[in-house]
């Protein structure tokens, strides 16, 4: 990938707002002569970031448009478009059964719900490892004694952007987030689990976007 100079980046920004535009107009906006930006325009045209049409001027090329689309993707794609199924267990599930579910489903986190799929807690591999090491009786413990309970659980809604989900995953240094939605106007704390979003979900989707670009 070519690292563009500051002036070349400024030219692309100008085209985003004013395309099509002539070289004279670009130079005027930059406060330089047309001859000064000739080589910059040539580089941008050769790399496909801008295109030129005789008697029309310069406009954004496919590479720049694809870059814009990828940037917009973060902010315009809702979580519900890329979320996966949440692996859930009940609060009464034993630690032993939770460990089995964790490995059978090959996930790093289990979401704890009640009979109506309302979020009650979350338990990770690390939580289970901590409680079982050196504790033979731990396997029979109910998961509600081990899980992280609300309000210490970070969540996203189906309509939140992928960017917001990624921001939370990175900021809180976690691997996944329950996707939840409110189901009772009289009780906004009752959040139904409708999925999960993980770092893997996001990376896979980004690769697909890059492949389509």
Q: State the DSSP string of 74-135.
A: HHHSBGGGT-B---EEETT-BHHHHHHHHHHHT-SEEEEE-TT-BEEEEEEHHHHHHHHTT-
Classified as helix, coil or strand, 175 is coil
Rounded to 5°, the CA angle 63-69-72 comes to 145
Full-model pTM = 0.68
Could you report the per-residue pLDDT of 4-28, keeping only the tens digit for each? 788 988 988 888 888 888 999 999 9
Which of 28, 2, 3 shows the shortest CA–CA distance to 14? 28
DSSP state for residue 161 in the 8-state scheme: B
The gap from C-alpha 27 to its chain's centroid, in whole angstroms, comes to 38
Write down the pLDDT at residue 15: 86
Residue with more model confidence, 136 or 181: 181
For residue 201 the two structure tokens come to 């979900």
Give whichever of 74-78, 127-131, 136-140 has the largest mean pLDDT. Answer: 127-131
For residue 177 the two structure tokens come to 């987030």
Write down the pLDDT at residue 25: 92
Could you report the per-residue pLDDT of 56-71, keeping only the tens digit for each? 889 888 766 566 556 6
Domains and CATH numbers, the chain: 6-65 (1.10.10.10), 79-209 (3.10.580.10)
Residue 211 has pLDDT above 90, yes or no: no
The set of residues, in sequence order, having a beta carbon less than 8 Å from that of 39 and lying 6+ positions away, is none
């Amino acid at each position: 990938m070519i690292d563009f100079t500051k002036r070349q980046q400024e030219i692309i920004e100008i085209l985003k707002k004013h395309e099509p535009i002539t070289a004279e107009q670009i130079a005027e906006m930059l406060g330089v002569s047309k001859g000064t930006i000739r080589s910059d325009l040539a580089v941008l045209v050769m790399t496909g970031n801008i295109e030129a049409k005789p008697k029309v001027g310069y406009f954004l090329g496919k590479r720049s448009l694809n870059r814009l689309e990828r940037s917009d993707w973060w902010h315009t794609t809702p979580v519900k478009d890329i979320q996966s199924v949440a692996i859930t267990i009940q609060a009464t599930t034993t630690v032993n059964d939770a460990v089995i579910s964790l490995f059978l489903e090959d996930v790093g986190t289990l979401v704890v719900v009640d009979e109506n799929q309302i979020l009650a807690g979350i338990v990770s591999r690390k939580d289970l490892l901590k409680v079982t090491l050196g504790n033979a009786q731990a396997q029979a413990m109910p998961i509600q004694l081990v899980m992280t309970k609300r309000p210490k659980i970070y969540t996203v809604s189906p309509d939140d952007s992928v960017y917001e989900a990624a921001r939370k995953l990175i900021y809180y240094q976690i691997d996944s987030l329950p996707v939840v939605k409110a189901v009772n106007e009289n009780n906004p704390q009752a959040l139904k689990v409708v999925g999960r979003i993980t770092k893997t979900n996001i990376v896979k989707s980004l690769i697909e976007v890059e492949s389509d670009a």
